[in-house]
Amino acid sequence: MANALTVAAKLAIALVECQGLWPGIGLRAKKPRIRMNTHFSRIALVGKVEDARVADSLALLARHLRARGVTVFLDREAAIEGLPEGLVRRPVGELGQEADLIVAIGGDGTLLFAAQLALARDMPLIGVNRGRLGFLTDVLPDEMLANVDDVLAGRYQAERRRLLQARLVGAGGE
C-alpha cells in the first residue's frame, strides 16, 4: 500500500511540475533571455551527503562559490572531504534563513526538502540532478558550475510556482 502511495505521489508531483504549479521560485540558467539584476551573495547548499556523488558535487560547488567570494551555508552535520575554509555551518533546518538562494544537489526528494526551506522567505531554488530520474531537478551535474555562474551573473529565467497542498485521509476520516 505504501509503495502504491509513493508511486501515486511521484506521478502527482510530475503532473503538477508539468503544469507549473510547484512551490517557490525555480531558477534555470538560460542564455540571456531575461537579464535580472538580482545579486546572490549568500547561497545555501543542500544535499544528502551520504551519497558520494552528491558529496563530490557539493564540495566542488562550495569550492567554486568560495573562490568567487560567495558566502556558502552548509549543514553543520555534513562531513565531506574537500570542503573549502570559511563555510557558514548551520542546522539543516536553518539553512534558508540567511541565504538568498538555495542550491539543492540530489534527486527530486532533495529538491522538495529544499523547497520547504525556501518557502518561508519566497527564496529562489536551483536543483542539480544527482538522483535517478530528475523530474524536478533540471541542472545536469556536468553543467552545474556553468549554470550557477550564469545565475550569479544574472543570466537566468525565474519560474514562479504555486503551492499545492495535499492531505491523505483514511477510511475513518483520519
Catalytic residues: 108
Residue by residue, DSSP assigns the chain as -HHHHHHHHHHHHHHHHHHT--SEEEEEE-SSSSB------EEEEEE-TTSHHHHHHHHHHHHHHHHTT-EEEEETT---TTPPTT-EEE-GGGTTTT-SEEEEEESHHHHHHHHHHHHTTT-EEEEEE-SSS-SS--B-GGGHHHHHHHHHTTBEEEEEE---------TT--
Angstrom distance (rounded) from CA 126 to CA 139: 8
